[in-house]
Amino acid sequence: MPYFAHRRLFLCLSSLLVSTASAVVEVSLSLSVPSNAPELSPSLLSFSIEGDRWTDWTGTTSKNQFLYNALDNLKTLTGVPPSIRIGGDSEDHTNFNPNVEFSEAIFPDFSTTVPYPEATNVTVGDGYYETARFLPSGMRITWGVNFGQDNLTAAFLTARSMAKAFSSPAMKDAGVTLDFVEIGNEADWYINNGARPSNWTSVDYTQEWTEFASNISETVGMSSTSHTKFFVGSFITSSNSTTGFSPQAIYAEGILDSEPGAFITTFSQHQYSGVFSEGDEDLLQELMTKENIRGNLSVHSTDIAVTHSRGLDYVLGEANSFANHGVSNVSNTAGAALWALDYTLFASQLGISHVFFHEGVGYKYNFIQPVELTRSILDGSALPEPVAPHVQPPYYAAIIIGEAIGNSNQTQAVELSIDNSRISGYAFYEHDVLVRAVVINSQAYMKAETTSRSSTHLDLGFLGESESRPTTVQVKRLAIGHADDDSGLTWGGQTYETNDARAQGELEIETMQVASGLDIAETEAVLLSFIY
């Protein structure tokens, strides 16, 4: 995401802390799957990776074992690894040179606000795309090509190298596939960053996209029966209108009726909850707030409905907490893990099939820091000692979602109606039967708190007729010291903050009677597994 300091997407609602409405909250769960419960993709939570340092993530001549383990943890839970989109701002600054082995990048000077900026120029060779073979088997890739520089030859050369890599025996043996090609990143911002003239419109976009896509579809061998298709859009605009850069506009302008348009199966939009901001001590609570999450995502409802009516999938192809790589002591905290958990699960309720959380080496909002860092992610200062690869608090959201979805490959979920401004929840069903639930308490308990930490009692009840009802529930907790902690979380007593990204520690699962209910503390999430 480029540095758009003046672009505000955040719905600035009240930042006042709101105490729970009552010490007791009723949570009613349907025993059979409701008709409005969508089926969840096992890779609902996926990742978008900035392309300039791609080989840092994967490794060049051998795999980056830390990244592999972090992704494999998620695959173990659902049977399917998260999907990955490679692109971002550097997508439109990437060109091909056959004499480059992997990639060569030119970076601007870092600053205290952007310690790890995107590259202004990236030159790649065949090895750049070939490194995808180091990802876990079953990985599905979306890869972006340069559209911003309006150089069809550059797009052709990178697409050809990409096609060569994914048709190689090594890639096929690895079980890694190219799902989509994306042409350009946030083209609706081109008139602001100088990539196109000020009078450039979505009509021009559609015409130019069609020209590029015609060439690229032939280069990568797209057809009605090919696996690889087009990932279109990737706009930052949420206009919900029939004009401007919106799905409605480009559909009306005939993009789907063009020859390469027949290979479009997915529309992507980008969503951040805000942009870089300093000095707002209530920002973390605002981010976590249930109403804010729903407001920020619901603006896409019309776009989603129109896209589905065309028979297409709708994704957030790039998303995270705050643009410009996140906000210090907000995006990298435990509170952001609860935000990501609620955000992703609520997105599924709107018809968003995948949320691709954007990542880059050294970004504040990363789930995973894949390589050693020598500068602070908060202010760019030199670290006394290098920091080894590690996961950050939001990674726990990915683990919890993976565990909640499970490996049945036909899990459905529905948001629970909970009359509390800080408590949200979701029920999960397999084979039409209630199996699990996630409940989140988004009241931020901060380091500076002078009062004792409160909790809310959840009274569990069931709706509908069934031959059997669960009488016992197993509970796993995401234990958090404070919402603004940047480490020290545990999930069911275990930590993923290890030197190899694998869980360590003794597993802690509480077993209790459903009739007794349970307590959930401020800044906590629980996974309930029902026993019949």
The residue among 405, 433, 457 that closes a domain is 405
The residue among 405, 422, 447 that closes a domain is 405
Task: Verify that 455 and 373 share a domain, yes or no.
Answer: no
Distance, CA of 432 to CA of 30 (rounded, Å): 10
Task: Verify that 56 and 196 share a domain, yes or no.
Answer: yes
The domain in which residue 169 lies consists of: 44-405
Question: What total of structural domains would you count in the chain?
Answer: 2
Task: Verify that 230 and 354 share a domain, yes or no.
Answer: yes
Asked if residue 19 is part of any domain, the answer here is no
**What is the per-residue pLDDT for 185?**
98
Asked if residue 299 is part of any domain, the answer here is yes
Asked if residue 17 is part of any domain, the answer here is no
pTM of the model: 0.95
**What is the per-residue pLDDT for 114?**
94
DSSP H/E element including 130: helix 126-130
Task: Verify that 174 and 263 share a domain, yes or no.
Answer: yes
% helix, strand, coil for the chain, step of 5: 30, 25, 45
Task: Verify that 438 and 371 share a domain, yes or no.
Answer: no
**What is the per-residue pLDDT for 23?**
86
Asked if residue 322 is part of any domain, the answer here is yes
Task: Verify that 398 and 487 share a domain, yes or no.
Answer: no
Task: Verify that 111 and 142 share a domain, yes or no.
Answer: yes
Distance, CA of 390 to CA of 70 (rounded, Å): 9
Asked if residue 10 is part of any domain, the answer here is no
Strand partners, 124: 96, 103
Task: Verify that 328 and 476 share a domain, yes or no.
Answer: no
Asked if residue 5 is part of any domain, the answer here is no
Distance, CA of 48 to CA of 357 (rounded, Å): 5
**What is the per-residue pLDDT for 275?**
77
Distance, CA of 439 to CA of 379 (rounded, Å): 34
Question: What separation in angstroms does the CA of 169 have from each of 32, 87, 165, 318?
Answer: 46, 24, 9, 30
Distance, CA of 58 to CA of 55 (rounded, Å): 5
Looking up residue 439, the CATH number of its domain turns out to be: 2.60.40.1180
**What is the per-residue pLDDT for 277?**
59
DSSP H/E element including 6: none
First and final C-alpha spacing in the chain: 47
Task: Verify that 306 and 363 share a domain, yes or no.
Answer: yes
Q: Which residues of the chain have a pLDDT value below 50?
A: 1-21
The maximal CA–CA distance of the chain, rounded, in angstroms, is 68
Task: Verify that 364 and 437 share a domain, yes or no.
Answer: no
Structure token digits, residue 451: 């009062």
**What is the per-residue pLDDT for 5?**
34
Asked if residue 14 is part of any domain, the answer here is no
Other CB atoms within 10 A of residue 14 CB: 12
**Sequence-ordered list of residues with C-beta below 8 angstroms from that of 143, at least 6 positions apart, any chain:** 85, 86, 87, 129, 162, 178, 180, 181, 182
Query: Quick one: 443 exposed, middle or buried, by C-beta within 10 A (0-12, 13-18, 19+)?
Result: buried
Residue ranges of E strands in 351-471: 354-359, 368-369, 373-375, 382-387, 390-391, 411-415, 423-430, 433-441, 455-463
Task: Verify that 350 and 498 share a domain, yes or no.
Answer: no
Distance, CA of 480 to CA of 393 (rounded, Å): 10
Task: Verify that 356 and 456 share a domain, yes or no.
Answer: no
**What is the per-residue pLDDT for 100?**
98
The residue among 355, 378, 405 that closes a domain is 405
Sheet holding 121-124, edge to edge: 94-96, 121-124, 103-106
Asked if residue 250 is part of any domain, the answer here is yes
Looking up residue 137, the CATH number of its domain turns out to be: 3.20.20.80
